[in-house]
């Protein structure tokens, strides 16, 4: 069965939106397989965001992800990877479609990083890689 890694980023946790966000994913029909609240480390984030190392937003992104706890979850279901990305909406929360998590709960706060509430794996390979990083084998 397909799996994806979902992160509720520090903005979502700090704004007490974890329950609302998880409820939307469950209501869509995906199954929660694992769930935990974690304080990420720089080392873990460097692995998670390895494709972005060196980009201008990389350091602000890591600082943001270290600014508070995140909620990490594994959701399961047929086509859950694309299904969750569709639920999440596009990267920029200002223009993410209403009805999506980012579109309904997020906006641009004028900061160096897009505080956009959630992360979801973008392919089956990334999902397996990211699940290992956050949950181990």
Residue nearest to ligand ATP (CB): 91
Return the DSSP state at 100.
B
The 118-120 sheet, strands edge to edge: 31-38, 70-76, 3-8, 118-120
Instruction: For CA atoms 107, 111, 114, 115, give the dihedral sign.
Output: negative
Judged by CB under 6 A, does residue 41 bind ligand ATP?
no
Using CB under 6 A, pick the residue from 26, 29, 57, 124 that binds ligand ATP: 57
Judged by CB under 6 A, does residue 113 bind ligand ATP?
yes
Has 78 been annotated as catalytic?
no
Shortest distance, CB of residue 80 to ligand ATP, whole angstroms?
14
Nearest Cα neighbor of 7 from 18, 15, 114 is: 18
Nearer to ligand ATP, 77 or 117 (CB): 117
Counts of helices then strands in the chain (DSSP H, E): 7, 4
Stretch near ligand ATP under the rule CB under 6 A, chosen from 23-31, 34-42, 73-81, 108-116? 108-116
Judged by CB under 6 A, does residue 91 bind ligand ATP?
yes
Nearest Cα neighbor of 133 from 44, 39, 71 is: 44
Give the HSE-up count for residue 77: Cα atoms under 13 Å, Cβ half-sphere.
14
Nearer to ligand ATP, 12 or 120 (CB): 120
Stretch near ligand ATP under the rule CB under 6 A, chosen from 14-22, 40-48, 93-101, 117-125? 117-125
Positions in the binding site for ligand ATP (CB under 6 A): 57, 61, 91, 113-114, 116, 119-120, 122
């Amino acid at each position: 069965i397909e799996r994806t890694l979902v992160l509720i980023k520090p903005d979502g946790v700090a704004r007490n939106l974890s329950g609302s966000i998880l409820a939307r994913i469950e209501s869509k029909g995906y199954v929660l397989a694992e769930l935990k609240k974690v304080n990420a480390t720089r080392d873990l984030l460097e692995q998670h965001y390895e494709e972005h190392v060196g980009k201008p937003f990389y350091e602000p992104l890591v600082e943001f992800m270290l600014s508070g706890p995140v909620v990490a979850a594994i959701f399961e279901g047929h086509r859950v990877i694309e299904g969750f990305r569709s639920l999440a909406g596009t990267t920029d929360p200002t223009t993410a479609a209403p009805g999506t998590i980012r579109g309904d709960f997020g906006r641009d706060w004028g900061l160096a990083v897009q505080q956009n509430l959630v992360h979801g794996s973008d392919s089956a390979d990334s999902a397996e890689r990211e699940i290992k990083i956050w949950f181990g084998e």
